[in-house]
Structure 1
Amino acid sequence: MQVAIHLGAHSTDGDRLIKGMLKNRDILGEQGIVAPAPTRYRSLIRETMQALNNARPTEDAQQALFDDLVEDEGATRLLLSNEHFICVQQKVLEHGTLYARAGEKIAGLTNLFYGHEVEFFLAIANPATFLPTIAARVKNKSFAQWYGMTDATALRWSDVIARIRAANPSAPLTVWCNEDTPLIWPQVMREFAGVDHGVEFVGRYEVLAQIMKKEGMKRFKEYIEAHPPVTEVHLRRVMAAFLDKYAIEDAIEVELDLPGWTEDYVDHLSDLYEEDVELIARMPGVTFIAP
């Protein structure tokens, strides 16, 4: 069984990917791909990993888990998604490190599905916007209390990815920037599902629609219907062209108002992030989806 596991990151998805898979259950089912509802497995997987203390389950225990997750005996690929697979949002900056538990949790997930083909999927985001967004979700703590003595300029997604890769070097890892999602969403959906380029999912343009005016989306869909894109690159060029003209500015801009976070500091974090992204795109075992 192929097991595709979407890890988040926090606040980059809002369950959009797995909901997109559920909307396309019929298409997936025809190809032996199963996307169970998150309510069926999130607590189950967490509790099973805790009970096992991240060790491998017995063959019978693992089979019982699959019986709970997969109803179709002919299924060959299982899709799972949970932004809390690595940790809850309160612990994203545990020990002043970005996803300090990544290696430990990936080892646990790998052991849980030992003997099967595991793949991981992860969206990353600019720390300048990612950290304030996560902090806003942490209950009963201000940004300063949650952030503590962390040095944002020292945080690197490449370190997180290195820990994931070290925990399971044989498992492919697909990474993309959350900021690029509107332009690459159709490919993200296909890569996670493990289907060919020709498959057209319901909702493949829904992320683009969130940042493009209705008139623009109407014209965009009319254009691609009359001129079907031949490649992903061609499609993205068309999307970018329409977005350039019809983007909803308020949906793209992010306002930050944090003590000590000046415009120059935010720009510096963004520059460091861009350098980190370039490094990640070259990391062995990583498939990087770029616009």
Structure 2
Amino acid sequence: MQIVYHVGAHGSDQAKLIRTLLRNRAELVRHGTEVPAPNRYLGLFGEAMNSLNGGEAPPEMQEVLLDMLVDNEDAKRLVLSQSMFLGTPRRAISRKRLYPYSPRRLRGLSNLFPDSVVEFHLGVVHPATQIFQLVARNKGDYPGTMNGADPRQLRWAPAVRAMLEAVPDREFVIWAQEDLPFTWPEVLRRLAGVGPEVPLIGEDAILADLLPPETLRDLRANMDATPDLTIRGRRNLVEQALAAGGATAAMESEVPLPGWTQDLIDELSEIYADDLAELAAISGVEFISA
């Protein structure tokens, strides 16, 4: 069995991705992929990890967990998604790094299925956007969210390296939230474990949030009218549609945080660009880039 943990991160389109996969549940079952609704296993993994106290699940426990999660006896891939897999919003940031408790949590998740192939999928987010989302989830408590950290020091590459060290024999698939208008179909299919020949509903779900209906219709028509459309060709059409639909500004959301200036956000953007380049170069990471 292949076990896929979609672990976040906070501020990404995690919920939209899993909802889109759920819309395709019947088609995915035919290809051996099981996508249970997240509320079906809410709290299950925390209890299971606590009972193991850092150890690996015995075969009997693995079988019980799979019986609780899998309905199709022919399933070969199980996709699981919870916003708490990396930790709570209150503990996402420390002076040390992003998600300081994630190595232990990912090791615990990995240990639930030691006999399976396990993948961790992670959408990383611009620090300004993520901090804003975390503050919102923490009821507006900015100091309690930041825990004394300097936002300039919050980088993804060190956090991911710590995760890799915790579970060195597992696969990591990473993408940038900001690239999703261009990479959504690839991210969706990589999660599901299916190729481009499998028809999926919602391949333009994220574009539907960014484009006016008429622009989206034109984009679909242009794609349908282009034979043998490549990934690069599709992304070029998407870029043209985003510009024509005035969506570029919509993708640049304001971040009203106390004491923040545009200069700080610009500085964070430069840091984030370097961070993404470093992430893509990490051995053991499959990076889906635009």
1:47 aligns with 2:47: yes
Q: Matches of 1:229 and 1:131 in 2, distance apart? A: 41
User: Secondary structure at 2:286's aligned position in 1?
Assistant: strand
Q: Matches of 1:255 and 1:17 in 2, distance apart? A: 23
Corresponding residue for 2:13?
A: 13
Structure 1 position 226, deviation (Å):
1.7
Corresponding residue for 2:103?
A: 103
Q: Matches of 2:257 and 2:5 in 1, distance apart? A: 34
Q: Give the letter aligned to residue 239 of structure 2.
A: A
Corresponding residue for 2:240?
A: 241
Q: Give the letter aligned to residue 262 of structure 2.
A: E
Residues 95, 54 of structure 1: alpha-carbon distance in 2 compared, 3 angstrom cutoff:
farther
Corresponding residue for 1:167?
A: 166
Corresponding residue for 2:75?
A: 75
Structure 1 position 230, deviation (Å):
2.7
Q: Give the letter aligned to residue 203 of structure 1.
A: G
> CA offsets per residue over residues 92-150 of structure 1, 9 Å max, x none?
114552100111011101111101000110000110221112111113x5213322421
Structure 1 position 181, deviation (Å):
0.9
Q: Give the letter aligned to residue 11 of structure 1.
A: G
TM-score by length of structure 1 reads: 0.95
* Paired residue total: 290
Corresponding residue for 1:137?
A: 137
Q: Give the letter aligned to residue 202 of structure 1.
A: I
Structure 1 position 42, deviation (Å):
2.7
Corresponding residue for 1:127?
A: 127
Q: Give the letter aligned to residue 131 of structure 1.
A: I
Structure 1 position 227, deviation (Å):
1.5
Q: Matches of 1:3 and 1:242 in 2, distance apart? A: 36
Q: Percent identity?
A: 34
Structure 1 position 261, deviation (Å):
1.5
Structure 1 position 172, deviation (Å):
1.5
Q: Matches of 2:228 and 2:135 in 1, distance apart? A: 40
> CA offsets per residue over residues 242-288 of structure 1, 9 Å max, x none?
11111335632311233332211111111001001001111111111
Q: Matches of 1:249 and 1:237 in 2, distance apart? A: 14
Structure 1 position 193, deviation (Å):
0.7
Corresponding residue for 1:26?
A: 26
Task: Give the aligned CA root-mean-square deviation in angstroms.
Answer: 1.5
Corresponding residue for 1:66?
A: 66
User: Secondary structure at 2:43's aligned position in 1?
Assistant: helix
TM-score by length of structure 2 reads: 0.95
Structure 1 position 182, deviation (Å):
1.4
